[in-house]
A and B are shown apart, each in its own frame.
Chain A
Amino acid sequence: MGYEFDFSFLWNYGPLIVEGLLGTLIISTVATAIGMVIGVGGAAMRLYAGHFLSSLVGFYVEIVRNTPFLVQLFLFYFGLPLVGLRLDANTSAVVAMAFNVGAYSIEIIRAGLVSIPQGQIEAGAALGLSGYQIFRDVMLLPALRGVYPSLTSQFILVMLTSSVVSVVSATDLTAAANDIASLTFHSFEIYVVITLIYLLMTMVFVLLFDVIERHLFRFAH
């Protein structure tokens, strides 16, 4: 025993931590945004496209959900340059995360779409809305409202999972922790601090999504 805890070194590394924090936020936000696009397109294909496309989307979803994100990240990070795509670490991290989140988003949005009552869709058709209008206004938007809690908790999960991208030297909060640990040798202290920052971010986002929900869906209450 007799270990002296020392947190004073932290002040020197404030900018590094802030940079990592922004990296984590940017990577998670961009990946989630792309994942949402994949999610809407994929869910629509899974439900309404022909057998081949629908099965293809189902295959993608099952592959992603039954393999670890870390292995997917390695495939993208080491594999993309071999097929001629040279991306920096942050970009390959975002691509791998979007590929991963996309599959989960498809499942969430599909669940929302199938929960829309058939009568609501028929009512849209009876009012003379076009197929696209029915999909967007009668099905997709109410479906997204229904699965809002799943989508927001998925964002938090993405943010926590993104700590793994530090392994391929992307710039994020965990990478900042690793850098500071190797510079100061105060590994335990820095990991305690960074862990608490993640916890704080989780709590802030839970609150934020709650406030957004109340404003966004005011009309439904």
Chain B
Amino acid sequence: MRTLVAHDVAFILLAVRWTLLLSAFAFIGGGVVGSAVALARTSNVRFLRKASSAFIVFFQGTPLLMQLFLAFFGLAIFGFEVSASVAAAVALTLNTAAFLGEIWRGSIESLPKGQWEAARTLGLGYVTTMRRVIVPQAMHIALPPTIGFLVQLIKGTSLVSIIGFVELTRAGQIINNATFEPFKVFGIVAITYFVLCWPLSYWGARMEKGLAVSMGRPVAGM
């Protein structure tokens, strides 16, 4: 047992780059896959709707930790050389895709049917309607919950510490095992997460309030 020194604090704080990198990777990758999921969920093709729905049910109905374990042990079985970082990136990307896909589906479907009908009357095809009419409006509605999910994602990356990926939480565990000063060590870890997440939460909540006002919905006291 030794005392907590400045070097340990630096080790924890520097590990935040892996938390950020993993969050960014999963958010971008999950955003790309999630767009496809949202389009499949709102398409006219029955098979696409069913398949994307099953994808969402699976990732929203099972623990993220199990998804990480399945990626970790599953990829190995199918002959891929996996490190914790690859398994973490794969599982978090698919998980993010399911949640963003469902959020964006809701945003697309919240637009009045008349928007589709007007576009069709104007002779616009599916792609043009989506790109020029639906998505620009849906994005406005989707932004607050998307930011809310980003906070969930940043917090969710802490679970990859369990499969051995050294990010913020794992760095804290390593230092705590050596110094056994849990309040200081996990206090620093918690404050670091808070500094990352709280501005996003605040921004998302403010935007949601603004959106509710612009759409004439009642606003709960902030």
Q: How far is the CA of A67 from the CA of B78 in the complex (A)?
A: 35
Bound CA–CA A63/B221 (angstroms): 19
Contact check: which of A72, A164, A167 meets B190 at CB < 8 Å? A72
Secondary structure at the B interface, as helix, strand, loop or mixed, is helix
> Is the beta-carbon distance between A70 and B169 smaller than 8 angstroms?
yes
Task: Let me know if A69 and B155 touch, CB within 8 A.
Answer: yes
Check B66–A163 contact: CB distance below 8 A.
yes
Residues of A within 8 A of B180 (CB): 78
Q: Does A120 contact B (CB under 8 A)?
A: no
Q: Is A71 in contact with B169, judged by CB distance below 8 angstroms? A: yes
Say yes or no: is B58 at the interface (Cβ < 8 Å to chain A).
yes
Contact assessment for B186 and A71 in the assembled complex, using a CB-CB cutoff below 8 Å: yes
Partner of A163, one of B63, B73, B182: B63
B103 nearest CB across to chain A (Å): 14
- Cα distance, A110 to B176, chains bound together (Å): 37
B56 vs chain A, min Cβ distance (A)? 12
Q: Of A14-22, A131-139, A194-202, which stretch is located at the interface?
A: A194-202
For residue B157, which residue of chain A has the nearest CB? A68
Bound Cα distance A78, B220 (Å): 38
Q: Which of A1, A163, A192, A202 meets B70, CB within 8 Å?
A: A192
Please, which residues of chain B bring their CB within 8 A of the CB of A68?
155-156, 158-159, 169, 193
Give the A-B pair count, Cβ closer than 8 A: 120
Are A62 and B189 neighbours in the complex by a CB distance under 8 Å?
no
State how many angstroms separate the Cβ of B171 from the closest Cβ of chain A. 12
User: What's the Cα separation between A84 and B152 when bound, in Å?
Assistant: 33
Tell whether, in the assembled complex, residue A79 and residue B66 are in contact, meaning their CB atoms are under 8 Å apart. no
List the B residue with the shortest CB-CB distance to A70. B158
B73 touches A167 (CB 8 A): no
A3: contacting residue among B77, B182, B221, CB under 8 A: B77
Q: For residue B76, which residues in chain A have a CB less than 8 angstroms away from its CB? A: 188
Minimum Cβ distance to chain A for residue B172 (Å): 7
Which A residues have a C-beta under 8 Å from some C-beta of B? 1, 3, 47, 62-63, 65-72, 74-75, 78-79, 82, 110-111, 114-115, 156, 160-161, 163-164, 166-167, 174, 177, 187-188, 191-192, 194-195, 198-199, 202-203
Additional 4 contacts, C-beta under 8 A, given A75-B187, A188-B77, A191-B70: A71-B193, A160-B62, A188-B73, A198-B63
21 interchain pairs, CB-CB under 8 A: A62-B201, A65-B201, A66-B155, A68-B155, A68-B156, A68-B158, A69-B155, A75-B190, A82-B183, A110-B220, A160-B61, A163-B66, A164-B159, A164-B162, A187-B69, A188-B76, A191-B70, A195-B66, A195-B70, A198-B66, A199-B61
Across the A-B interface, the 9 shortest Cβ-Cβ residue pairs: A78-B182, A68-B158, A163-B63, A66-B197, A202-B61, A68-B155, A188-B73, A195-B66, A187-B73
Q: Using a CB–CB distance below 8 Å, which chain B residues touch chain A?
A: 57-58, 61-67, 69-70, 73-74, 76-79, 151, 155-156, 158-159, 161-162, 169, 172-173, 176, 180, 182-183, 186-187, 189-190, 193-194, 197-198, 201, 218, 220-221
